[in-house]
Structure 1
Amino acid sequence: MKKIAGYYNYSGAVHIHTTESDGTKPIEEVIAIGKSAGLDFMMFADHMTLSNRENGHEGIYDKMLVVIGYEHNDEADTHHYLLFESPKVYPNEMTAKEYVKAGADDNALGILAHPDEIRNSLKDYPPYPWHDWTAEGYQGIELWNQMSEWMEKLTHMNKLQMSLSPRKSMVGPTDRILKKWDELNMTKKIVGIAGVDAHEFPVKIGPITIKIFPYKVHFRCLRTHVLLPDKMSSDLEIAKKQLYSAIRDCRCYISNIRWGNADKFEFYAENSMEKVISGGQLSTAKESRLVAKLPSKATLKLVHNGDYILESETANFEYSQLQSGIYRVEAWKGNRGWIFSNHIKIL
């Protein structure tokens, strides 16, 4: 593996379910599928259980890191929350504020799952959104949840078509969650990741049953990329720390690899004295520039403090009219989202 702009790029799948909750395959089979899909890491999060971790399934499998957390929810089955490195499953009767705080107190990594779900076309599939934005202590949010986007577009009329070609529904994060994410990052660092939310659900359509988003299809769509200054260790505990540190520090970006491999994407800010990547901050805008490099030509959009300020059809991009605030970029292939960076802050 080669360094790109001084960092090693590892891509993986976040938010994976198994038969320990409502997934349809045991973890051993899902790990094998992940390896065949070329994942560098897998982050499992079954509902309200750490049994896969307790049974010793965390590990490094032929250089692929597997970590196991869990997905917490409140008694109303809302406020779904991914927790990694928590010492236990917290009590079900806790409020969202309480289990977010409990995770923070235990130094667990906490990520809001599918926080902006909105759907009402099928009553059997209600949304599970996040309402309490006053909770303190979470480190990240799912910008793009694969199952949520598919479900929000599902109707009785298109159910068969959507089930046969689920990846065709993938467009990108919603405008509402991108706006909320930008607002949050104006005052604190909140990482944006992609959640595959893999279950391989069986759906009955007339006399036939179709498996929606088989695990192997999930793993050919959304990826979360982490940037490490050193190669990922072959020691499990060290590798876990490297992964979690990168996520906490926002040294990440997300991509839909259906539109192209995104491993060579670069986004950084620099001047004669400093150079920083996503999650970093530059001490001055004076004589500084932003640089974005795409693996291939796409529509690149530059966002400053939540406002879209520039758009260009390009593979290489520089911008030197910097002001204080937070910047990020998006790359689109036609009307399909391809790459979404995390923020760089300019002081």
Structure 2
Amino acid sequence: MRSRSAPPTVRDVAARAGVSPGTVSKALNGTGQLRAATRDRVAAAAEELGFRPNHLAKSLLEGRTYTVGILTSDSFGRFTTPVMVGIEDALGAGRMSTLLCDGRGDPLRERHYVQELLNRRVDGLVVTGRRPDPRPSLGRLPIPVVYVLVQSDDPEDLSLTYDDVQGAALATEHLVASGRKRFAHVSGPERHWSTQRRREGVGRALEAADLPLAPELVLLGQWSEAWGRTAAAQLLRRDSGVDAVVCGSDQIARGVADGLREAGADVPGRVAVVGFDNWDVMVEAARPPLTTVDPNLTALGQHAATRLMDAIDGKELPRGVHRQPCDLVVRQSSV
């Protein structure tokens, strides 16, 4: 007789539901050709008994650990967090667990973590980070690897990121459609991939609208509110006719809006301002709240996790860089 303190087994569930242990296994794992009524009866019996599957036994039987490693270089978490939410959403549906490792952008530390994850026999690996700049590939590993937000420098890898050019063009087109004519662009350090790509998007949209972007109205500095305030003062000194500013980040956009307001330039009455990232704590607390480009990072994480699960199940991973379109979230700073 089973001890009262012992956890219920598959056989106990089978006896309660009036089916075989094999049927219990199929019902709880979502396999086999079973009637819905049978699955429901097994699920009800498992719930009544408080049955919990033995994941270790399942792992040994199937040769999988049902864990996925996540390697990030984003210690701050601003960009990794929404990506992680999307990954967890997708993996949770497949009853997968995650192991998060912060490589801090240090190649030696990354190699250590990769080896540790391999030692733990994770089924797959997601590599992410703070910016979509290209990064060195981890090379060929014995498990599927998906790069998300960041881009591997190896075209044989799968990298999923968002489209900076399309997003910046979307913001610019919005301001053109609202009747703005004299544009400025304020963004981050020139060496950053995002800075270069977003500037390209602004330029493309203005060229298509036959509007100029004067070189002296392209100001590059730091990803900060302080830089945005400084840039706003410079813009007004260089060209008092500026009526639209497309910013490379929400932090910069908030600083620009503050700097314009402090100088007596109404936002959006005199100058419209648009940011990039849809960082809620920045855009919603700004005065006025900021129109911004949303790179849909949670959806990006979901997509990456889905691709990785497909590869774990035996499907071939695509190759190259795949860019997800951005959306525009319109608030009071541009209308």
Q: TM-score range by the shorter chain?
A: under 0.3
Structure with a larger share of its residues in strand? 1
Q: Normalising by the residue count of structure 1, what TM-score does the alignment of the two structures yield?
A: 0.25
Q: Normalising by the residue count of structure 2, what TM-score does the alignment of the two structures yield?
A: 0.26
Structure with a larger share of its residues in helix? 2
Larger RCO of the pair (alpha carbons < 8 Å, separation 6+): 2
